[in-house]
Amino acid sequence: MMRKIGGGTENIIKMLGIVEKPPGILLEYCSMGDLKNFISLNKKHNKDQLSLYDCFTGIISGMEHIHLQILAHCDLAARNVLLKEEGGKYICKIADFGMSAVGSKRDTIVQIPVRWYSPECLRYNSVGPPLDVWGFGCILIEILNWGKTPFEKLSTTQEVITLFMNLIKMTPEEKKIKIVESNSFKYFG
């Protein structure tokens, strides 16, 4: 999958090589760690190093490149966005392509991160760019709530699945109310 994605944008982790023994891949080093820990730990930085705009557009640029390759990431979350310092700025790099897929159906059974999976993809067992769009929305929730898990007010996976199945049937206004009720937007409305 990493070979298919290739280069093309600075916002995707670069594969430097393949290791035969023990089997593995060699990736570029991202000294600032993952975005979730970076924002959860409130690491010191200034807006010239990392702004919300740069963060959001970096992730969007990386996902655009992935989707142009007819791929879906399928696990887009702040934990899978790494930060690399380059020239005094922190660059967001999409990583962890272990759940990536080509096309709209999975050939294998995988354990999925339910809170980052769109209701429609859960219902129809499908994958694709719409799933990654939902995942990007979940990243926004994580960033704007200082690293909190999306739908953090729901304590079990079954509660999340029940909410998602109900969202499919709701009007846009009802969806907005339910999503706000299921998250802690105390910092940003």
Q: What one-character-per-residue DSSP string does 72-117 give?
A: E-S--SGGGEEEEEETTEEEEEE---TT-EESSB-SS-----GGGS
Q: Looking only at Cα atoms, what is the longest distance across the chain?
A: 54
Bridge-partner residues for 34, per DSSP?
82
pLDDT value at position 7?
65
- Single-letter amino acid, residue 189: G
pLDDT value at position 189?
36
pLDDT value at position 4?
63
pLDDT value at position 188?
43
pLDDT value at position 156?
93
At residue 27, φ and ψ (nearest 5 deg) are -115, 160
pLDDT value at position 49?
85
Sort 173 into a burial class: Cβ within 10 Å, 0-12 / 13-18 / 19+: exposed
- pLDDT tens track of the chain, all 189 residues? 666 666 678 999 998 888 999 998 888 999 999 999 998 888 888 888 888 889 999 999 999 999 998 889 999 999 999 999 999 899 999 999 888 888 766 666 678 899 999 888 888 888 889 999 999 999 999 988 888 999 999 999 999 999 999 998 999 999 888 888 888 765 543
